[in-house]
Every structure is written in structure tokens, then in C-alpha cells.
Amino acid sequence: MPIRPENRTRYPKNWKQISHDIRFIRAEFRCECTGECGGKHQGRCHATHDRIHPETRARVVLTVAHLDHTPENCDPDNLKAMCQACHLRYDTDEHARNASHTRAEKRAYGMERLF
């Protein structure tokens, strides 16, 4: 997943190397999700980087998920290589909380119609 500009400073300077090592060395180009995302797959997801996803039929881009949703916490036990589908499902609640917070901020400043 792309890092939003406002969150870039939350990631360590060597994030690209950390991400690379998790996705391609530890995970060996495969999604490491074993059901945390709540998806339909049994056991480990079968999605492989740069191949067609077995469920979505889209080309897979392997990403790295922070299991505790905290970019500063780059302990390998807190990171998991995930295909886009698993990562998006895993972060669904976090995205909903962020969207709710953003809408509340816009209302507080009378900006809800500007966006």
C-alpha cells in the first residue's frame, strides 16, 4: 500500500529495505496471511507477487501490513507480507475509523462540502 504523505515520517528511514526483506526474503514472494484478514482462503493465502490473484484475478502486488496498525513498530513479528486483497480486508476497521475521524474533523471546521 502506498504510504500517505502525512504518514511518511512515521516510518523508519530504511523502510524500503525492511519491506523488501519481509516480502521477498521471509515470505518468498507469497502472501503470508493465514486467515487474519477474514477472507475465504483456507490456511495460507495462495497469492504470489506479480502473478494473477486466485480470487480477484488482478495482478498481485505484495505489501507489508503492520499487524498493530502502528507504522513505527517495525518488529518482524508485527509485520506480515500480504496481497492487496488480504491487506485491505485486514485494515477495513482501521480505514473506517480513520474515515470517521476525518469526517468529524471536516464537520468541526465547516469543511464537509469542500471535499
In a domain, 52, yes or no: yes
- Write out pLDDT tens, residues 86-110: 999 999 877 666 554 555 456 666 6
pLDDT of residue 100: 47
In a domain, 111, yes or no: no
Q: How many domains does the chain have?
A: 1
In a domain, 101, yes or no: no
Question: Residues with Cβ < 8 Å from 1, sequence gap 6 or more?
Answer: 63, 84, 87, 91
In a domain, 65, yes or no: yes
Residue type, 18: I
In a domain, 102, yes or no: no
In the predicted structure, residue 52 carries a pLDDT above the cut 90: yes
pLDDT, the chain, mean: 87
pLDDT of residue 108: 60
- The pTM score is 0.79
Q: Which domain, by its residues, includes 37?
A: 5-90
In a domain, 115, yes or no: no
C-alpha cell read off for 48: 504470489
| Nearest of 72, 74, 69 to residue 90 by alpha carbon | 69
Neighbours of 88 (CB within 10 A): 16
In a domain, 104, yes or no: no
C-alpha cell read off for 22: 519481509
β partners of residue 81? 64
pLDDT of residue 96: 60
In a domain, 10, yes or no: yes
